Structure 1
């Protein structure tokens, strides 16, 4: 058999489809099945090969900042400074290793989710029933389905009995689709092909036989997976900011180095000192390299990676697996969260919440109510007894001992209702077994079952309220049966309308006595005794109302995008606080009729989109991105994958398809909206901590540059050796910078609006903090060199080095908050910062040991008195930083009070 991916099997009769596939109702032979398995391959989606470890490792060296450092290291080798270049290369390799390990850990987490289940399939081969791995199903196989099965491959139905299938993973529809076997007469979309079944869908009711038409990448899901391979992922805001920042920094450093090199050579040329020009040029070049080393925060890439990894670990504890490291920070800048309804905002569990019997007001049912321990009396029952017994008996769903629910979600809700009220469904069904049935179909909108109850033949019917009400001639009131008048019918209809207005799904129940032994037919579905109504809904998760409120207070707009009906979506939206007065909703069809300009005008008012297509989702995400808003998108189905990849951050559900997970930056293990908001808080904290680390690193580097430039123009000795600067930048500074990455969330982190997408790393007051603190560090080093030079030039260098190191170490406390003082925060509230400072002080002590100090150009006469002077100068500079911070904070508070600042 040749591969045929264009045949429209839904337009063929079932027998013709079997013939086209060179099969029969007895199935393929084992030999033919094996041959087709070899020809078509396994029935599985092609997984995009992950990059080899070596390639992930080398990707780390493409960063502009890293390239600059590699250039500096090569220059160090050329000029003979092998030790300095070796240190640079060691740090760069360490950063690459960290990034590679994190990427591989994320892949491992995703793989563990993939291996949670490997479904099997029931097929007919050689006229016999076999159970095989779903990966071994081939085109032409005759496949058997029953409630609880996953559809292993696409196929054309041959037989179907009360078949309902959930195709949400493919179509986005949350409601089970009613299936039939008849031939369609015109081309239809996937969701309207009622005689076809599709891979990954789940059977919730009935049973069926179908002939497999396509497997693996030829299935509808495979086609979407194939499209995804051609979609490029977007850069995150952090990646973009670091790339832009690195390029600008690189240009600035090169210009400064050229300027200083030129000044020194020009000065030597115009004011000869007797030193050969060749030596002057070499010394000036080395000095320029020292400036480059001082300016570039060599450990920045490593620190950003480590801080993001810390955020990843924190998020994993909050049920979020990060697949792409920069996604940690992206969450913190998210302005828009486009979220699915079912399972994310709601429990994904249809639940009976109210029921109604005539002459009684509607009664609510506690959603989390536990089943009663003692069952009720089944011999003498009233209208409430009958309603619950009917819910248990006219019902095909099953709840197994292990809690697994099999069947239509609506019927499962009825079974749970009966159990909650003490009418244990298994016991009721044992006492009153089903003797006959009329299965539900979409034309009648009814289902009937026949039982022998208290020695009487009883037919119980459930279905659409308008049909049950119109066909009822009597009504059960308490234990009495009375005539069903038009007034009573109208009262029941009014109650049904109230339920419908609240977007509740309503089923009505009726019964009638039948002659014992009579075979029931659809003509008997009339002349009912009306029992009551049961109203159901997929209720919101308990924690989602608080999560939505928290999102809004953080300046984040949550938007519901669902395949469900608009009325239901809006009702849920109102219930959880997502849809408020003045908000509007659109269906996918209504959205298609809007121009881009019209959508842009309405965009900020739309809180709910219903009955949407994959194309609609991509358009919604794109509309927000045009407004420069960082947009997150949740999804679980293959149909969600393109939008997940187009969003700034795609969030896949842990229970979703592998295609969705592969397209996403993050996987939500518990499928819970509240977990997204918790992850946003972590993301904001991570970004804030990265900026604290950047402030710490660059203010220290700026201080070094200021002191070097001052020495150049003052005619002093170069205050630092290249090794001293590399030691501070790559060893000493790294430890406090990482510790700052472990700061807890600042007070009010979730009460501020998200930062703007185009806000650079130096925005939001960061540049001002770097400049002010850098000036204080620079002045401290200059003063220390001046004091040391009174003894000797070498002592000046030693004093400048130790003071620079101490000032940069102690300013760690000042960098813990942009506005709050170290005293207000508490020195010991971050034990990692305290530990980092102690380690840095210990490293300085190690450098000052006699066997080591010579390597760092510390003269033998450097004493504890010199160290004390350096410490005092450094401490004073940090106190000035705190004073400047307090002044700045007082101005902010004043502007806030005048409503002139919104932060």
Structure 2
């Protein structure tokens, strides 16, 4: 194909270096460089590999514990006692499927956005994959092309490059031969070519991405809390298992299979396997809900992390502002202000004459580009597009009255002489972060050496960056939720402050230029805490500011879309990337806003709070089971009685009093603010309730054994009935405050247990048989007494230990 740059190849002649550039590298030269390893071989990595994902989800402490017990049941049988093993499959599958789904979405995004640059080889312009570019390659550039490696410009035809993704500076940069171009930038005007001077990991964008390439998991208090519980449960398992094996073997005599089954039945309830599964399910459902809002969550616990955030660092470009500008005001200039209608018509004709309008000119087109009868009376004779070198655009126009003149639109300080009165207005507007263009008319022809000579200034065109329509509401949401927003941008501090002030962000009236930030870490942390808006921030400074806030105990989220945001995104507690941003930002971020809507963040926070609040609500159910299981095991060991349950009984009780109701409770709306201390608060309810449940169950079981020691099935049935009633009472406590569906849920669980007792094949499957009246009613009476104790315990815990008590976060060391 013929690349646009090939149509205008300046400076080429028959011999010398220019001829070499004209032809580019030969096939032999390319092969030589490939052999030396001088090729752009940066590996594409958007997330963990499939192998790493599978390993991380399969090889867990939870799977190891339950897997060993399940394998034992497979040996001794019957299979119905191994129903608990299905939790392994469900929990592992949810984690693997969700993370692979996110990985594939990101990979497809990276593939769609992958550039295929045009290079010159053997005198021909060809398109090749980015990974095949070699050192000294002649890479061609045209409008819209991405600069994929670092290089030196060798040809240009009005070449202007946008480096905002690298520096945060929104203005395009005019490039001349000998200037450097960096990977991660892209062409917004003109054409040209450059020689690749750095490829692979040596390129600027690749170096930033390399520092952020190590995959790290989101810090999750829920996950770490559950892991802590599992770790201590593991410590209890070994001595308890040994004690149970010995006691059950002594009780059952030579029936070693029954002894093993009873031992496994005693160990399985100690492991809060349902809590691990429920956490994965709740996160997965949250991810699906957010996915419908075009929000990709790469790691399940990320929504929990954002719900705990108290500081959000925002990049102005692409987050608060969109990629365009708007005309704020057309201000005619004295002493003889022109007719505003005439000015609007002239601006419309002038802007429409630019075949490649930049953001400023596009704003003029949007504001004044509509045609009409008066507009059609203007005749375009000649046009000169905007150039960053001359800082203005122009058009030779035949006006409706028959006059002819050159109309110029550009930088006031270039078009006006020093000291002109209009420049005072320009400076005042510039101090507000606004961009100002001057519209003037000159009698000098457009092709004259100085068309701006004798220019008559007619009006100021005041432009402002296009602020996202939802940005103000989103900032208000964070303010209401006591989440502090800080704007960190590579643009000028005045401009950033003006945008933030237009959104009524508290503290925006005092922006700080990052070039004046102190180097001393404590002083930097002080400045970071008290300042809201930062401008002229380098990528390394963004990282230091995030670390400074973290060193003061803040949980920090960082949003961004450019390569300059990569390091800060990675160091932040939660990184949020825009879907249209660079590949590197999407790779290191935990959350990707596919539609670039900043307004999605409140939904992520709300979803995270729903997940955290509800999981904390139901976690007590699972830990109650752990506590009563440990107590029952110890009582059985000391009294040398057969363990009262088989694994199938534990599965039935866990499903009806914990697993199924917890699933529905975890999906309920919940806007409680996330607080630290998850394990501590949960244990306040779980320990006393578990002790009451275990004591009540063993009491009814021991009384039944005393009445008919030979009928273990009947004794087990009484113990199962008592434990179900006490556990159902705990469920009724956790489900408060009551709604109609929560009451219906509790009633449904009670009805399901009644069906198991009444339907013969179900009672046979679960080996339940309530013989007589005395023992079952004794069990019910004991359960009622236990229920009253639960109420007293719950009221005491709630009054004496408020669950909303907030503990100060531990400060973290700052990166240097």
Q: TM-score range by the shorter chain?
A: 0.7 to 0.9
Shift of 1:124: 5.0
Q: Does 1:196 align with 2:180?
A: yes
Is the Cα–Cα contact under 8 Å of residues 393 and 434 in structure 1 kept in the other structure? no
The aligned counterpart of 1:24 is 21
Shift of 1:29: 5.8
The aligned counterpart of 2:210 is 226
C-alpha change, 1:509 and 1:584, in structure 2 (3 Å) is closer
Is the Cα–Cα contact under 8 Å of residues 143 and 212 in structure 1 kept in the other structure? yes
Is the Cα–Cα contact under 8 Å of residues 717 and 770 in structure 2 kept in the other structure? no
Shift of 1:779: 5.4
Is the Cα–Cα contact under 8 Å of residues 788 and 798 in structure 1 kept in the other structure? no
C-alpha change, 1:731 and 1:213, in structure 2 (3 Å) is farther
Shift of 1:901: 11
The aligned counterpart of 2:514 is 588
Is the Cα–Cα contact under 8 Å of residues 570 and 585 in structure 1 kept in the other structure? yes
The aligned counterpart of 1:48 is 45
Shift of 1:169: 2.3
The aligned counterpart of 1:565 is 492
The aligned counterpart of 1:666 is 591
The aligned counterpart of 1:367 is none
Q: Does 1:450 align with 2:447?
A: no
C-alpha change, 1:154 and 1:21, in structure 2 (3 Å) is farther
Alpha-carbon deviations, 1:169-203, whole Å to 9, x = none?
2333332222222x4xxxxxxxxxxx133344222
The aligned counterpart of 1:773 is 689
Is the Cα–Cα contact under 8 Å of residues 21 and 139 in structure 1 kept in the other structure? no
Where 1:95 maps in the other structure, the secondary structure is helix
**What is the CA–CA distance in structure 2 between the aligned matches of 1:168 and 1:430, rounded to whole Å?**
40
Is the Cα–Cα contact under 8 Å of residues 347 and 364 in structure 2 kept in the other structure? no
C-alpha change, 1:130 and 1:93, in structure 2 (3 Å) is closer
Shift of 1:725: 2.2
Q: Does 1:680 align with 2:627?
A: no
More divergent stretch after superposition (282-291 vs 649-658): 282-291
C-alpha change, 1:57 and 1:874, in structure 2 (3 Å) is farther
Q: Which runs of 5+ in 2 are unaligned?
A: 1-9, 809-816
Among 357, 368, 378, the residue aligned to 2:332: 357
Where 2:740 maps in the other structure, the secondary structure is coil
The aligned counterpart of 1:483 is none
**What is the CA–CA distance in structure 1 between the aligned matches of 2:134 and 2:377, rounded to whole Å?**
41
C-alpha change, 1:901 and 1:111, in structure 2 (3 Å) is closer
| Superposition map of 1:271-350 within 5 A | 290-350=265-325
C-alpha change, 1:628 and 1:519, in structure 2 (3 Å) is closer
Q: Does 1:505 align with 2:435?
A: yes
Q: Does 1:858 align with 2:778?
A: no
Is the Cα–Cα contact under 8 Å of residues 345 and 541 in structure 1 kept in the other structure? yes
Q: Does 1:62 align with 2:63?
A: no
Shift of 1:609: 2.3
Shift of 1:82: 6.1
C-alpha change, 1:718 and 1:89, in structure 2 (3 Å) is closer
Is the Cα–Cα contact under 8 Å of residues 161 and 208 in structure 1 kept in the other structure? yes
C-alpha change, 1:497 and 1:546, in structure 2 (3 Å) is same
Q: Does 1:654 align with 2:579?
A: yes
Is the Cα–Cα contact under 8 Å of residues 347 and 541 in structure 1 kept in the other structure? yes
Alpha-carbon deviations, 1:263-311, whole Å to 9, x = none?
x79xx9xxxxxx7998799999986654432321233322221111111
Is the Cα–Cα contact under 8 Å of residues 349 and 378 in structure 2 kept in the other structure? no
Q: Does 1:814 align with 2:814?
A: no
Is the Cα–Cα contact under 8 Å of residues 46 and 106 in structure 2 kept in the other structure? no
CA RMSD of aligned residues (A): 4.4
Shift of 1:599: 1.6
Is the Cα–Cα contact under 8 Å of residues 27 and 124 in structure 1 kept in the other structure? yes
Alpha-carbon deviations, 1:321-349, whole Å to 9, x = none?
01112212212212222221112112232
Among 496, 504, 512, the residue aligned to 1:577: 504
**What is the CA–CA distance in structure 2 between the aligned matches of 1:530 and 1:146, rounded to whole Å?**
34
Q: Does 1:525 align with 2:472?
A: no
The aligned counterpart of 2:194 is 210
Is the Cα–Cα contact under 8 Å of residues 557 and 574 in structure 2 kept in the other structure? yes
Shift of 1:160: 2.5
The aligned counterpart of 1:386 is 343
The aligned counterpart of 1:470 is 417
**What is the CA–CA distance in structure 2 between the aligned matches of 1:115 and 1:279, rounded to whole Å?**
64
C-alpha change, 1:530 and 1:882, in structure 2 (3 Å) is farther
Is the Cα–Cα contact under 8 Å of residues 215 and 588 in structure 2 kept in the other structure? no
Query: What TM-score does the superposition give when structure 1 sets the normalisation length?
Result: 0.77
C-alpha change, 1:901 and 1:439, in structure 2 (3 Å) is closer
**What is the CA–CA distance in structure 2 between the aligned matches of 1:19 and 1:806, rounded to whole Å?**
94
**What is the CA–CA distance in structure 2 between the aligned matches of 1:14 and 1:590, rounded to whole Å?**
44
The aligned counterpart of 1:374 is none
C-alpha change, 1:880 and 1:542, in structure 2 (3 Å) is farther
Shift of 1:640: 2.2
**What is the CA–CA distance in structure 1 between the aligned matches of 2:40 and 2:341, rounded to whole Å?**
50
Where 2:322 maps in the other structure, the secondary structure is coil
Q: Does 1:845 align with 2:755?
A: yes
Among 107, 123, 131, the residue aligned to 1:111: 107
Is the Cα–Cα contact under 8 Å of residues 637 and 656 in structure 1 kept in the other structure? yes
Q: Does 1:409 align with 2:359?
A: yes
Alpha-carbon deviations, 1:852-881, whole Å to 9, x = none?
535544237368x98788678767866775
Is the Cα–Cα contact under 8 Å of residues 728 and 805 in structure 1 kept in the other structure? yes
Is the Cα–Cα contact under 8 Å of residues 438 and 522 in structure 1 kept in the other structure? no
Q: Which runs of 5+ in 1 are unaligned?
A: 1-12, 184-194, 269-274, 363-380, 399-405, 472-485
Is the Cα–Cα contact under 8 Å of residues 46 and 586 in structure 2 kept in the other structure? no
Alpha-carbon deviations, 1:673-725, whole Å to 9, x = none?
32122201111211122222311111233344445556666786643334422
Alpha-carbon deviations, 1:86-129, whole Å to 9, x = none?
43443223322221111111112212322434545455555566
The aligned counterpart of 1:172 is 168
C-alpha change, 1:117 and 1:62, in structure 2 (3 Å) is closer
C-alpha change, 1:867 and 1:508, in structure 2 (3 Å) is farther
Is the Cα–Cα contact under 8 Å of residues 675 and 806 in structure 2 kept in the other structure? no
More divergent stretch after superposition (525-534 vs 833-842): 833-842
Q: Does 1:618 align with 2:561?
A: no
C-alpha change, 1:47 and 1:840, in structure 2 (3 Å) is farther
Alpha-carbon deviations, 1:28-74, whole Å to 9, x = none?
56787788789879867422397665653343343333333344446
Q: Does 1:797 align with 2:716?
A: yes
Among 555, 563, 585, the residue aligned to 2:482: 555
Shift of 1:798: 0.9
Shift of 1:312: 0.8
The aligned counterpart of 1:544 is 471
**What is the CA–CA distance in structure 2 between the aligned matches of 1:844 and 1:166, rounded to whole Å?**
71
C-alpha change, 1:307 and 1:326, in structure 2 (3 Å) is same
**What is the CA–CA distance in structure 2 between the aligned matches of 1:737 and 1:449, rounded to whole Å?**
71
